Amino acid sequence: MTDGAVILWFRRDLRLTDNPAVTAAVESGRPVVPLFVLDDGADGLRPLGGASKWWLDKSLRSLDAALRECGSRLLVRRGRSVEVLTKVAREAGAVHAVWGATHEPGAEARDTEVEAALEAQGVSIDHFAGSFLNPPGSVTNGSGEAYRVFTPYWRAARARVGEVRLQPAPGRLASPETWPASEPAETWDLHPVRPDWSTGFDWTPGEAVAEARLEAFLEEGLAGYRRARDLPHEAGSTRLSPHLTWGEIGPRQIWCAAHRAVADGRAGEEAREKLLSEVAWRDFNWTLLAQMPTLPERNHRSAFDRLAVREAPEELEAWRRGRTGYPIVDAGMRQLWVSGWMHNRVRMVAASFLVKHLLIDWREGERWFWDTLVDADPANNALNWQWIAGSGPDASPFHRIFNPVTQGEKFDTQAAYVRRWVPELALLPDGLIHRPWEASPMDLHAADVRLGETYPRPIVDHALARTRALEAAGALRCAA
């Protein structure tokens, strides 16, 4: 062993482009040992949901393929990170290790433990900011505190992003003389079997696809983004969210590409700023989670601990399976189950329905999304659920209760979305499809719909449910 190796520990930054840990490893001039650890919850972090595991399986293979094109490879090991890292360091004769920071609950404790253990065996550490425009903690108000409201946060954060210079992907990574063993991909157990519920997933994880997706969006989608992003039947979303979740692409790359698109005349500044502000929500949510690690479990506003939530397992199951009797809600929940993703507009409607119409604890919904979304993100999932529930910082006011009929008719005007995901209603006319319970027997017969048989009746009445939710929220103020 002539030259000590450097361990390049990948976590939520599964890319080679603009990854400071990758750059540092390459520039060290040492043999590089790229590593990913499947901790299966052993590190004390929240275990991954099913859809996230599906994604990670493909993303790791993609990263391995990309590394092999650079003359390297990805080691995947299973176990507690501190044990894996110290063992691999010994096997590889490592003298140095690098990684990018992550901020989910438990990550800091894990990294501190790993760092201490590695340093104890003579391995030095460098860590770098993770994949953000502004990493958590870097944007503060006049009194040095973190912002709790998005708009002033983004004003300050936007101004703080200077010139962004991307670090290109390395052409080549130096290999160690002998490679430590890796778990064979067949043993990762990340892809679902018996049953394989992922057959409807229309996604290709990996950095190359993420970059292509970004370019395609700038070409076709950015100019009309502000309008189209709210229409669930249109391909107006970036669909970058799962790539961002695993760091296959970073916000800095989006920033640069979006500025380039405006310079090229492919879109206007307003469209670019809308896109960047959506990206900034992710930064903002991670800032809050880094500061308040209980957000995925505890109400930020403790008054909501007293909300009279209902135990209603059958209604919860109807919501999960897309059988609430409200077409836009059911379409969204079925899109989620089948494809691992749900359109943002419909997420709000479906989440509001669970929390307000059914008065079920938002954590039930948060857990379901965590398990079924390919873009399940510790910060975005927790903060967005708390936002809908009204319990979060800067949250939606409690009296804002989405009307699933109005939302459907407003954003799915031609009902193309409902017809795709709730095909048993497809023959109903546009004017009735978002409210099938108002259809006459003749209309229902003509559309081959039998309410209560081929499609459920509404499990709650909107007006009654709305009143019930307002009363439950009102009780929070009176009872001290």
Residues lying near DNA in the complex (CB under 7 A) are found at 141-142, 145-153, 155-156, 230, 278, 281, 301, 344-345, 348, 384, 387, 393-394, 396-403, 406-407, 410, 462-463, 466, 470, 474, 477
Cα 466 from chain centroid (whole Å) = 29
Q: 423 or 431, CB closer to DNA? A: 431
Nearer to DNA, 398 or 417 (CB): 398
CA 470 vs CA 149, 357, 467: distances in Å: 24, 10, 5
Rounded to the nearest 5 degrees, what angle is found at the Cα of 371, between the Cα atoms of 200 and 183? 85
Token pair 């490592």 is found at 94
Q: How far is the CB of 74 from DNA (least distance, A)?
A: 33
Helix (H) or strand (E) holding 477: helix 462-478
Closest to DNA by CB, 131 or 403: 403
Closest alpha carbon to 92 in 175, 19, 210: 175
Minimum distance of DNA from residue 383's CB (angstroms):
8
Q: Considering the complex, state which of residue 246 and residue 304 has its C-beta at the smaller distance from DNA.
A: 304
What is the smallest separation between the CB atom of 244 and DNA, expressed in angstroms? 14
Give whichever of 180 and 392 is closer to DNA, judged by the CB atom.
Answer: 392
CB of 216 to DNA, least distance (A): 23
- Which is nearer to DNA, 5 or 295 (by Cβ)? 295
Closest distance of CB 67 from DNA, Å: 34
Nearer to DNA, 37 or 401 (CB): 401
How does DSSP classify residue 374? T
SS (H, E, C) 110-128: HHHHHHHHHHHCCCEEEEE
Smaller CB distance to DNA: residue 401 or 418? 401
- Closest CB 361 distance from DNA, rounded Å: 19
Minimum CB distance to DNA smaller for 89 or for 280: 280
- Pair 112, 53: CB distance under 8 Å: no
Least distance in angstroms from the C-beta of 274 to DNA: 9
* The residue to which tokens 């004017």 are assigned: 431
Please state, in angstroms and rounded to a whole number, the distance separating the CA atoms of residues 113 and 95.
17
Minimum CB separation of residue 366 from DNA in Å reads 15
Which one, 143 or 199, has the nearer CB to DNA?
143
Positive or negative: CA dihedral 302, 140, 14, 41? negative
Hey, what amino acid is at 238? T
Residues recorded for the chain: 480
Instruction: For 373-391, give one letter per residue: b (16+ CB within 10 A) or e.
Output: bbbbbbbbbbbbbbbbbbb
What per-residue string of b and e applies to 75-97 under the rule 16 or more CB within 10 Å gives b? bbbebbbbebbbebbebbbbbbb
Question: What's the one-letter identity of residue 407?
Answer: Q
SS3 of residue 78 by DSSP: strand
Please answer whether residues 411 and 279 qualify as being in contact, where contact means their C-beta atoms are separated by less than 8 angstroms: no
> What is the token pair recorded at 126?
């460098």
CB of 229 to DNA, least distance (A): 8
Provide, rounded to whole angstroms, the least separation between the CB of residue 154 and DNA: 8
